[in-house]
């Protein structure tokens, strides 16, 4: 009986709870319906305000800079080649990689035995040819004398014939005497012809002797040249490169033994866009002698030397674009041929331009200016030059002091309200602040490194990056604080 009573009591309490919940739900629904039917109050719509960095325009005269990358090369370079096959008998102590030599210095000597013998043989041939020439000259003199004597004989025989004829006309001479005299004249004239032929042969012999002597002298000169070429000398003062040979080595004809470079005559070659090249020339198309700065990046340090724009390439190479330019280095401190350098070329000055970050100009060539109501207005500008992350613009509708958005984003557009962030105002600026750096002593650095190495939950890449940072002279202060907080000290 007691069990039945308790069961009925529990059922009654459950029914009562359900009834109360239903009544509460009905009351809430009625209140919501009544609120919907009653005229509500209009909520004021708030305009969204964006924040962005702004920068003030400053129009004036500016000298733009053109940055390009090029290679250092030398104006004087000579390949040292073996003039003939032979054995390297002697090498200069300076004939090594990087060796400094002076003009005319003996660098290497080939075995001169064969060339010396050829030179001596040519000298003997020359002496023999000179002897033959002297003999031909004496023979010519004798032939001329013989011809003169034969001509005298003809003259005498002719006078004898005239006397015989004169006697015969007076009736005192015989016909036989006249015929004998005529035969004598004919014989003398034949002798003259023989002597003339001998003289011609003597003259031809003299010419042959002279030609033989000339050929012998040429052969002697060639032999002396080959003998002189056994000595390889420096044509100018410079530095040796690509040396890979030893004394006693057998070299072949025209084999490269090394390269002689003049390190004092260096220039840099680099390419610029064709559109920029047009601004580097004058009205006649001649290249302007502009100044440039050549920089060799050495990581933490760099080498910068001045240069002068000197000439441009004559043609565009196949597969290349732009224009090839050459600048002469005014100094060669620390630079070598083959260095890859950065060239900063100072271009002609531009009037009425302003410098802006490249991100401030949109793809449509407009910038967002800030008006008096702090709303954005789009203004079209002309980009006249790009240098690195900046651009030089020219705009007729803008003046100095007008503020424009320094970095465009898809959220910003014309007509929007802007909360400008100006450099130096309330800690806001266009340039992010560099984190503070601290200098660690040896003990402090060692404790921090041990703490990082002992952390087993840190990823390997993060650990390596953190250890590399701790090895530097200056370490970010926030990194030190973060490690020490994990160390509990």
User: Residue 489: what pLDDT?
Assistant: 47
Place of tokens 């160390």: 487
| Mean pLDDT, range 24-53, rounded to an integer | 69
What residue spans of 261-313 are helical by DSSP H? 274-277
DSSP 8-state code for residue 52: E
Determine the 3-state secondary structure of 68 from DSSP. Answer: strand
Residue linked to tokens 């004169």: 166
Phi-psi region of 230 (alpha: psi -120 to 50; beta: other; left: phi over 0): alpha
Residue 184 has pLDDT above 60, yes or no: yes
Element (H, E) at 102: none
Per-residue pLDDT tens over the stretch 246-261: 888 888 888 888 888 8
User: Pick the residue with more confidence: 2 or 250?
Assistant: 250
Burial class (CB in 10 A: 0-12, 13-18, 19+), 6: exposed
Q: Which of 166-175, 235-244, 478-487 has the lowest mean pLDDT?
A: 166-175
> Which 8-state DSSP code applies to residue 386?
E
pLDDT value for 37: 61
Contacts of 18 (CB under 8 A, 6+ apart): none
Rg (CA), the chain: 53
Enter the pTM of the model: 0.55
Cα–Cα distance measured from residue 198 to residue 205, given in angstroms and rounded to the nearest whole number: 10
Q: pLDDT tier at 42 (50, 70, 90 boundaries)?
A: very low
Residue 214 pLDDT: 93
Average pLDDT over residues 420-424: 77
**More reliable by pLDDT, 69 or 166:** 69
Distance CA 423, CA 58 (A): 15
Mean pLDDT of 406-431: 72
Answer whether residue 430 shows pLDDT above 50: no
Check pLDDT > 70 for residue 453.
yes
Cβ-count burial of 393 within 10 angstroms (0-12 exposed, 13-18 middle, 19+ buried)? buried
Task: Read off the pLDDT band of 82 (50, 70, 90).
Answer: confident
Can you point out the beta strands (E) in 111-242? 231-233, 238-241
351/328 Cα distance (integer angstroms):
28
> How much is the average pLDDT of 358-378?
86
Q: How many Cα atoms within 13 Å fall on the side-chain side of residue 308?
A: 5
Q: What angle do CA 38, 41, 47 make, to 5 degrees?
A: 150
> For residue 228, what pLDDT is reported?
84
Q: By CB neighbour count within 10 A (0-12 exposed, 13-18 middle, 19+ buried), where does 266 fall?
A: buried
Q: Residue 476 pairs with which residues in a beta bridge?
A: 437
Please enumerate, as own/partner, the contacts of 451-455 that have beta carbons within 8 Å and a separation of 24 or more. Answer: 451/483, 451/486, 451/487, 452/483, 455/486
Asked if residue 50 has pLDDT above 60, the reply is yes
pLDDT at 211: 92
Residues 215, 255: Cα–Cα separation, whole Å: 30
Residue 292 to residue 344: CA distance in whole angstroms: 5
Is the distance from CB of 201 to CB of 93 less than 8 angstroms? no
Residue 239: Cβ within 10 Å count: 19
Residue 2: its pLDDT value, please? 66
Judged against a pLDDT cut of 80, whether residue 359 lies above it is answered with yes
Containing 123, the helix (H) or strand (E) segment is helix 113-169
Between the alpha carbon of residue 261 and those of residues 73, 115, 243, the distances in Å are: 10, 29, 12
User: How many Å apart are CA 207 and CA 213, to the nearest integer?
Assistant: 10
Does the structure show a pLDDT above 90 at 206? no
**Average pLDDT score over residue span 272-300:** 83
Residue 81 in tokens: 């080649």
> Which pLDDT score, from 0 to 100, does residue 429 have?
46
pLDDT given for residue 436 in this prediction: 67
Task: Please tell me whether residue 454 adopts helix, strand or coil conformation.
Answer: coil
304 secondary structure, DSSP code: E
Query: Tokens 């057998």 appear where?
Result: 250
Residue with the larger pLDDT of the pair 467 and 214 = 214
> What's the pLDDT band for 274 if we cut at 50, 70, 90?
confident
Q: Are 79 and 426 in contact (CB under 8 A)?
A: no
Average pLDDT of the residues in 10-15:
77
pLDDT at 431: 44
What domains, with CATH codes, occur in the chain? 76-110+230-245+255-260 (2.40.50.100), 114-228 (1.10.287.620), 266-346 (2.40.30), 437-487 (no CATH)
- State the average pLDDT for the chain: 81
- pLDDT above 70: percentage of residues in the chain: 90
CB atoms within 10 A of CB 306: 13
């Amino acid at each position: 009986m007691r069990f039945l009573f308790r069961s009925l009591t529990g059922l009654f309490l459950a029914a009562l709870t359900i009834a109360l919940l239903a009544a509460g739900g009905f009351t809430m629904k009625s209140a919501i319906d009544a609120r919907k039917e009653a005229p509500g109050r209009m909520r004021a719509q708030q305009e969204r305000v964006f924040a962005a960095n702004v920068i003030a325009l400053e129009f004036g005269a500016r000298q733009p800079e053109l940055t390009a990358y090029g290679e250092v090369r030398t104006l004087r370079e000579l390949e040292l080649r073996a003039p003939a096959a032979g054995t390297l008998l002697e090498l200069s102590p300076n004939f090594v990689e990087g060796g400094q030599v002076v003009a005319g210095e003996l660098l290497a000597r080939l075995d001169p035995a064969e060339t010396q013998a050829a030179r001596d043989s040519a000298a003997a041939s020359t002496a023999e040819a000179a002897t033959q020439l002297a003999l031909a000259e004496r023979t010519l003199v004798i032939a001329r004398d013989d011809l003169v004597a034969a001509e005298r004989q003809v003259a005498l025989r002719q006078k004898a014939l005239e006397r015989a004829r004169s006697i015969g006309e007076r009736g005192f001479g015989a016909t036989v005497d006249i015929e004998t005299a005529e035969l004598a004249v004919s014989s003398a004239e034949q002798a003259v012809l023989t002597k003339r032929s001998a003289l011609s042969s003597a003259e031809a012999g003299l010419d042959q002797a002279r030609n033989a002597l000339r050929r012998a002298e040429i052969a002697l000169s060639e032999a002396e040249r080959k003998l002189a070429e056994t000595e390889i000398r420096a044509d100018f003062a410079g530095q040796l490169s690509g040396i890979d040979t030893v004394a006693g080595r057998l070299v072949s004809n025209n084999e490269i033994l090394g390269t002689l470079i003049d390190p004092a005559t260096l220039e840099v070659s680099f390419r610029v866009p064709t559109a920029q090249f047009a601004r580097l020339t004058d009205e006649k198309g001649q290249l302007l002698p502009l100044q440039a700065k050549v920089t060799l990046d050495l990581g933490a340090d760099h080498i910068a030397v001045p240069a002068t724009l000197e000439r441009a390439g004559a043609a565009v190479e196949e597969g290349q674009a732009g224009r090839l330019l050459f600048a002469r280095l005014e100094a060669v401190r620390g630079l070598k041929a083959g260095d890859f350098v950065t060239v900063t070329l100072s271009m002609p000055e531009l009037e009425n331009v302003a410098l802006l970050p490249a991100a401030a100009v949109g793809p449509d060539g407009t910038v967002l200016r800030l008006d008096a109501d702090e709303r954005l207005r789009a203004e079209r500008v002309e980009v006249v030059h790009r240098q690195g992350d900046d651009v030089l613009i020219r705009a007729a509708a803008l003046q100095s002091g007008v503020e424009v958005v320094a970095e465009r984003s898809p959220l910003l557009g014309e007509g929007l309200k802007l909360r400008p962030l100006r450099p130096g105002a309330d800690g806001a600026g266009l340039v992010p602040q560099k984190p503070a750096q601290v200098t660690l002593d040896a003990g402090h650095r060692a404790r921090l490194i041990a703490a990082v190495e002992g952390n087993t939950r840190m990823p390997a890449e993060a650990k390596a990056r953190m250890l590399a940072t701790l090895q530097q002279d200056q370490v970010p202060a926030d990194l030190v604080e973060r490690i020490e907080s994990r160390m509990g000290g």
